[in-house]
Amino acid sequence: MRPKGFHHTEETKRKMSEKGKSPSEEVKKKRVETRRKNHPHLSDEQKRKISEKLKGHHLSEETKKKISEKHHGTKPWNYGKQLSPETKKKLSETLSGEKSPHWKGGKVKTICETCGKEMAAFPSQLKRFKHHHCSNRCASIYRMKNQKTKDTFIEIAIERELIKNVIPYMKQVPLEGITLADFLLPNKIVIQCDGDYWHRTKERKNRDVNQDFILGFRGYRVYRFKESEIKKSARKCINKILENEGIKM
């Protein structure tokens, strides 16, 4: 804050008023002289001599020949020099694993712990990771299956109805490396219990539709029941499956 009674001088006021305007020719000339004084440049005589020296300057034929001979048989600078046939042979043998001391035989065959498909992996990967999976999706399914500590209340309600109706089933079954089925019944009948919270988003709904389409194409019949439906009546959900499949109890 400016102190009381303080006033700018006329020179300062003039400078402030001229701030932002293009400088005059006199100011420009002074600036050039100041730069030359602080940062000396070549004199006109020195510039003339350099210009005359560089004027019409070309490499002689002898110099061109020497440069050509020096770079003859080489690749561009970013590739380095050409390798001799002997060096190429040694490099090929090393990369093929014939003589490399670090070669351990490449990938080995193993089985995916989720979908059961045969996969190939390096020995170092098999030692590093406790569980082996062919894809990130299979790894995700494996985690969902093994990290789950207890069933949800909607899964418990469906399971009770299956037991009442004496329907054989399997719980938390990985299917085709695509998804994890909550219940798998005989004849490839799949029951999925969808919580209202986790399956309400558009992205998750699209994912569920895609999974059901692929499973249907592979011979499965998928029944999805929302949490609100199961809460209302788990018996009606199971009866719906029995009616559609023509199963009489």
pTM for this one? 0.48
**Percent residues over pLDDT 70 in the chain:** 76
pLDDT for residue 78 is more than 50: no
Backbone angles phi, psi at 197, to 5 degrees: -75, -50
CA distance 157 to 202: 26
Mean of per-residue pLDDT scores for the chain: 77
For residue 13, which amino acid is it?
K
Q: Find all residues with CB under 8 Å of 141, minimum gap 6, and list them.
A: 114, 174, 177, 179, 180
In this predicted model, what pLDDT tens digit does every residue of 149-181 receive, in sequence order? 677 888 899 999 999 988 999 988 888 778 888
The pLDDT value recorded for residue 39 is: 57
Q: Find all residues with CB under 8 Å of 195, minimum gap 6, and list them.
A: 152, 154, 227
pLDDT for residue 80 is more than 60: no
CA distance 200 to 198: 6
pLDDT for residue 79 is more than 70: no
CA distance 110 to 54: 71
In this predicted model, what pLDDT tens digit does every residue of 1-38 receive, in sequence order? 555 666 778 877 777 776 666 777 887 788 777 766 66
Q: What pLDDT band is residue 190 in, cutting at 50, 70 and 90?
A: very high
CA distance 249 to 238: 11
Write out the CATH class of domain 150-245: alpha beta
Q: Per residue, what are the HEC states of 76-87? A: CCCCCECCCHHH
Q: How far apart are the two ends of the chain, measured CA to CA in Å? A: 91
Report domain extents, the chain.
106-148, 150-245
Closest to 189 (Cα-Cα) out of 173, 206, 205, 208? 173
pLDDT for residue 100 is more than 60: no
| 243 SS3 class | helix
Q: How many CA atoms lie within 13 A of 90 on its CB side?
A: 5
pLDDT for residue 134 is more than 50: yes
More confident: 121 or 75 = 121
Q: Name the one residue in this structure whose structure tokens are 């399971």.
A: 159
**Chain mean position to CA 168:** 42
Closest to 230 (Cα-Cα) out of 157, 150, 152, 160? 157
